[in-house]
Structure 1
Amino acid sequence: MSSDIFLKGPVIAPRRRRSQLNWLFTVLPAFPLMLLVLRLWYLSRQDLPTMLLLVQYINPLGMISALFISLSWAIPAVILTLRVLGGILLVSKPGDAGRSPIAVAALRMPDWVVLIAILIAGFTWQLRLLPTLQMLAVAVLGLTAVQRLRAGPWVMLWITLGVPILTGVLTWIFVWPGVVAAVRGGEYGTAILLGVPPLLGPLLTGPVPAGWARLVTHWPATAAAMALPVVVGVVFLRAPVLPSSAIEVGPEGGPVEKVIVGQLIAVDDTSTTMLQATGEVEFVPNGDVRSKTLCPEPVRPPESAVAVRGWPVEETVLEWIAPTRKVTEIDSRCLGRPDGPE
């Protein structure tokens, strides 16, 4: 019975398909390791001895933590996109269920994984992406009902159309002030992200014409698979993996000769190792270290001035409700100047 699903469409042997998936699953774990190596290569300004020094001193747990925090938004995006596109293909062209990797992945994906992905996305995605999350969530609900639920037509109509329309209207009511502010401010991309996804939810809960099923599912999945590594790499290359610090250097009992601003690599029994912004490594004898301080990361100005009911569109739920450390005064040492009179 399981071999019947391979009768239609291009002839691809099941063993070959499984072999391709095994290769994919083998390569995927190497991607985070490649990101970590590229981050060190980028941090060392492409200097191999400096990179080897960083490998010697940097804690792998710190690197993994930075990777997880920086890319926590990407995992729910992959899971939900895969579930929606695979679900559309399953309900539109069931004969392709055994030959399409996205259909197989959507069919075998546990519901609790999807639920956790929605919760993580709800806390880690920016406000301007939450309407997209609402669209994906109602699409998953409708497609799951079409695949599994055997109910009356009115119940199915409510799940596949009523719920998406109702949640879309509620989302529109909430984000409408932001849409208006974005249009007035000329931020049309933000206006589209806030206003368009709630309108598309009802269109993603049912089948599409069988002849178009692979086109509207596989091509978006292929485009996303090609773009995601690039986006993930660019985001992670900017993530800090070493603490930004400043140390005052000078002879004991004498004046401060200079202030070194950079990233602290390590402190051992004899010296303090600093990585400067130019990529140069400086070893400062511990006896010459007059003081040291931790410098805050520079805050980038917001790309958008739009807020929805007092909630900036670039902030996540965690950033909006969680306490943050506010830097009201920058230490003069972080600016390259001694602390106080010399």
Structure 2
Amino acid sequence: MTDLFAKGPVIAPRRRRSQLNWLFTVLPAFPLMLLVLRLWYLSRQDLPTMLLLVQYINPLGMISALFISLSWAVPAVILTLRVLGGILLVSNPGDAGRSPIAVAALRMPDWVVLIAIMIAAFTWQLRLLPALQMLVVAVLGLTAVQRLRAEPWVMNWITLWVPVLTGVLTWIFVWPGVLAAVRGGEHATAVLLAGPPLLGPLLTGPVPARWARLVTHWPAVCAALALPIVAGVVFLRAPVLPSSAVEVGEEGGPIREVVRGQLIAVDDTSTTMLRPTGEVTFIPNGEVRSKTLCPEPVRPPESAVAVRGWPVEETVLEWIAPTRKVTEIDSRCLGRPRGPA
């Protein structure tokens, strides 16, 4: 394996450096573009409203929302790149020097892969954990093929029997959910739960050299095209301002109205609210009678399937972390003044 890159042409250092410069230029621009699009979407495509949001919204809050909403994407990119690049490395070493996927996989530190696995284990939904198991056993098998000089039975154990046994254990755990998904007509959920354990043993070894670039580069290209779209859709639905309700009325008089929306800012003279219609309302502080935070509306689950009591749409973090349960909705969040104390 010492002459892994001895064969075949390689990318000239100057050309490779130029490609990396382009990549490093585009990568920071993508999160910035997402943040700008989120403000544009929040302002209902009104430029003055967008400029007002830019003036008052804390960038740290938007970055936090971006991180929480898209924390699943980073390990997905790292693990997919490591697996596809590893397959190309063991399948066609002579062509690997011309592939940025193979070069990135070869230079990727093991601790980065380990951190990506840990983040994915906590942030991916249950229905995606079988896919994570498939990627983990593939990374272990491909790493063993690239680095180990062991006996054939040891290599067979790592590249074949470990994926098979891990897949069987995964199948035993998710089988009740597979049956529930089939009975409920949720065939996509059934495939996500039952399909990946079957593919694990197939991803730990080489493929024919003439097909290596086809089975690695085209999935990478499709993933690279789909990921920005999926990430953008997810982040555009993430809240970046607190939902609030404000009672408005003259001091000592009755409540005139309850303004519901997202709280933009509070200064010395007024409270600025963004209504659901996209209209910005400035409420004089002297007319603010009370304020309250409103919970985000809970979206109904897309799937009713659970695996041994664990809903397939919940992550490990959501399952074990304490959450605030809303048992009673404040009447102000419904647009009605609160009753007398």
Q: Secondary structure at the match of 1:255?
A: coil
Q: What's the CA shift for 1:26?
A: 1.3
Counterparts of 1:237 and 1:144, CA distance in 2: 38
Unaligned runs of 5+ in 2: none
Cα RMSD of the aligned pairs, angstroms, is 1.7
Q: Retained in 2: the 8 A contact 1:275–1:281?
A: yes
Counterpart of 1:301? 300
- Whether the 8 Å CA contact 1:244–1:264 is kept in 2: the answer is yes
Partner Cα distance (1:30, 1:197) in 2: 33
SS, match of residue 28 in structure 1? helix
Q: Secondary structure at the match of 1:248?
A: strand
Equivalent residues of 2:35, 2:62 under 8 A apart: yes
**1:154 and 2:142 equivalent?**
no
User: How far 1:203 moved relative to its partner?
Assistant: 0.3
Q: In structure 1, what is the Cα distance between the partners aligned to 2:221 and 2:166? A: 29
Matched ranges for 1:309-324 at <5 A: 309-324=308-323
Task: Indicate if the aligned counterparts of 1:88 and 1:217 stay in contact, CA closer than 8 A.
Answer: yes
State percent identity of aligned pairs. Answer: 87
CA contact (8 A) 2:305 2:312 kept: yes
Name the CA distance, whole Å, in 1 between partners of 2:260 and 2:96: 57
* Aligned twin of 1:190: 189
SS in 2 for 1:120: helix
Q: Identify the residue that residue 249 of structure 1 maps to in structure 2.
A: 248
Q: Does 1:87 align with 2:83?
A: no
The whole-number CA distance in structure 1 between the counterparts of 2:159 and 2:8 is 29
Secondary structure at the residue paired with 2:298?
coil
Aligned to 1:283: 282
Q: 1:174, 1:272 → 2: CA distance? A: 52
CA positional deviation for 1:42: 0.7
Local SS of the residue matching 1:170? helix
* Alignment check: 8 A CA contact 2:11 2:97 kept: no
2:102 partner amino acid:
A
Deviations 1:262-299 (A, max 9, x none): 00000111100000011110000000001110000000
Q: 1:266 — aligned with what?
A: 265
Distance across 2 between alignment mates of 1:31 and 1:282: 32
TM-score (norm 1): 0.97
Q: Deviations over 1:216-241 (max 9, x none)?
A: 00000000000000000000000000
Structure-1 separation of matches of 2:94 and 2:265: 59
Partner residue in 2 for 1:233: 232
8 A Cα contact 2:88 2:96, kept in partner = yes
CA distance in 2, matches of 1:310, 1:93: 45
Residue matched to 1:75: 74
Indicate the residue corresponding to 1:28 in structure 2.
Answer: 27
**In 2, distance between residues paired with 1:108 and 1:281?**
50
SS of aligned partner of 2:295: coil
Tell me the distance in 2 between the aligned counterparts of 1:285 and 1:158.
Answer: 72
Answer whether contact 1:6 1:99 (CA < 8 A) is retained: no
Partner SS for 2:297: coil
Q: Which residue of 2 aligns with 1:63?
A: 62
Which 5+ residue runs of structure 1 have no aligned equivalent?
Answer: none
Cα deviation per residue 1:32-67 (whole Å; 9 max; x = unaligned)? 111111111110111111111111111110000000
Shift of 1:19: 1.1
SS at match of 1:29: helix
Corresponding residue SS for 2:262: strand
Q: How far apart, CA to CA, are the structure 2 residues paired with 1:324 and 1:217?
A: 41
- Quote the offset at 1:16 in angstroms: 2.0
Q: Is residue 7–residue 95 contact of structure 2 (8 Å, CA) maintained in 1?
A: no
Offset from partner CA, 1:138-168 (integer Å, 9 cap, x none): 0000000000011110111100011100100
2:17 counterpart SS class: helix
Distance 1:46 1:95 in 2: 51
Matches within 5 A, 1:49-198: 49-198=48-197
Q: Deviations over 1:294-331 (max 9, x none)?
A: 00000000000000000000000011111111111111
* 1:326 equivalent in structure 2: 325
Which residue is equivalent to 1:207?
A: 206
Aligned residues between the structures: 340
Cα deviation digits, residues 147-205 of structure 1 (max 9, x gap): 00111101111000111001000000000000000000000000000001001000000
- The TM-score, its normalising length taken from structure 2, stands at 0.97
1:327 match: secondary structure: coil
Code of the residue aligned with 1:132 in structure 2: it is A
> Aligned partner of 2:106: which letter?
L
* 2:13 equivalent to 1:8: no
How far apart in 1 are the matches of 2:213 and 2:227? 20
Contact 2:86–2:142 (8 Å) recurs in 1 = yes
Is the partner of 2:304 in helix, strand or coil?
Answer: coil
SS at match of 2:146: helix
Q: Contact between 2:142 and 2:205, CA under 8 Å: does it hold in 1?
A: yes
Shift of 1:12: 5.5
> Could you tell me how far apart the structure 1 residues matched to 2:6 and 2:138 are?
27
SS in 1 for 2:37: helix
How far residue 96 of structure 1 moved from its aligned partner, in angstroms, is 1.8
What do the CA deviations read for 1:66-124 (whole angstroms, capped 9, x no partner)?
00000000000000000000000000011122110110100000000000000000000
The residue number in structure 1 matching 2:45 is 46
Letter in 2 for 1:119: M
